[in-house]
Amino acid sequence: MSSDLKLFKCPTCIIALSIVAALLSAGSGFAQGGSVTIDHIVGLNGAGQIVIGTPVTFYLRYTNNFGTKVNISNGFRVHSPDFATWSPIIGAQVYDWSSLFFNSYIQYNSNDGLGADSVGFAGFDIVGTLPCLPNGFSEVMCSVSITVTDMSNEGRHLCLDSCFVRASYSWKWVWDTQEYFPDWDGIRCYEIAGADPDGDGVYGAADNCPNGYNPGQEDLDGDGLGNACDPDVDGDGVANEIDNCPLVYNPGQQDTDGDGVGDACCCLFIGNIDRSPDGLVTMGDLTVLIDHLFITLTLLPCPEEGNVDLSTDGLVTMGDLTVLIDHLFITLTPLPPCP
């Protein structure tokens, strides 16, 4: 049987050969293309938000696989779907454009931080001797920076998208008379968050204590003001510094034995020996315990909270010190609740 007849009886073979022939006839065009993508972003917070007062810069990568060098003209548009405002955007050439093009420029259109602003980047060679954007090129070429300054923008959004370059009304690359249209990886939108002056990772109005580090946002009395900055943590109308029981609601301040610790609050948190309003067990508690045991022998305001090993006699001893050190530095074993 001839080879021609064998192929005729193998439709799959014919289809495969047809595809190969088409690819060969197309030459390098099969892998051709170009793109403009966001390579990386500097200035977003950990949640991927634009923070008021912090510049955000988008770095744009140009990739040319069209099979020829090209002149370029691409624009980028900043806008808000919910009427946010921003400072004038800043476009910058990151790569050395002078090594590629005889002439290049950055052009703005309506750069007032309202509605929509745009910035265009263009480069071309009128003498024909420079590399322009050569085939196989892939580098970060330019950047667009945005800063939101008005606090009223919190919760709104900003978007970066492609747009025409005003001079030519185009988003394209050109060589001779041939036009090439690079892909764009799509509109990108970002929520605007308030500032985070205390660095606790909670931004703007969401932070119940914006100037006090409190990543856990603890709020004992539920008044919307975090424990870290609430002058009356338990909400009983008595300021923390004079409250004989700062973590328990006791407006009457009853103290039957006159020891300075209110009847309502001993014991609240095992290990909170320094009676800090946040109830956390820290180095401060270890310091107070060591002072009590070995230095000034000052009585603890609430011995029950110093009885870290929950000994049945209730005494605060070296055993409690050992358990506290283990909790803070060694096994980090959680302390038990108050009995």
pLDDT of residue 168: 62
**Closest C-alpha to 277, from 286, 268, 288:** 268
At 291, list the tokens: 């002072």
Q: Identify the residue with better confidence: 3 or 292.
A: 292
Q: In whole numbers, what is the pLDDT of the chain averaged over residues?
A: 87
Strands 90-93 and 138-146: antiparallel
pLDDT of residue 269: 87
- In a 3-state reduction of DSSP, which class is residue 26? helix
Strands 138-146 and 116-124: unpaired
138-143 average pLDDT score: 98
Half-sphere exposure at residue 123, Cβ-oriented, CA atoms within 13 angstroms: 19
Strands 188-193 and 103-109: unpaired
Is-contact 270 310, C-beta < 8 A? yes
Please give the helix or strand (H or E) that residue 3 lies within, else none: helix 3-8
At 137, list the tokens: 């090129």
Domain ranges of the chain: 32-193, 266-339
CATH number, domain 266-339, options 1.10.10, 3.40.50, 1.10.1330, 1.10.3470: 1.10.1330
Task: Say how many Å lie between the first and final Cα of the chain, rounded.
Answer: 95
- In a 3-state reduction of DSSP, which class is residue 52? coil
Q: Which CATH architecture has domain 32-193?
A: Sandwich (2.60)
- pLDDT at residue 171 above 50? yes
Q: pTM of whole model > 0.75?
A: no
Is-contact 195 211, C-beta < 8 A? no
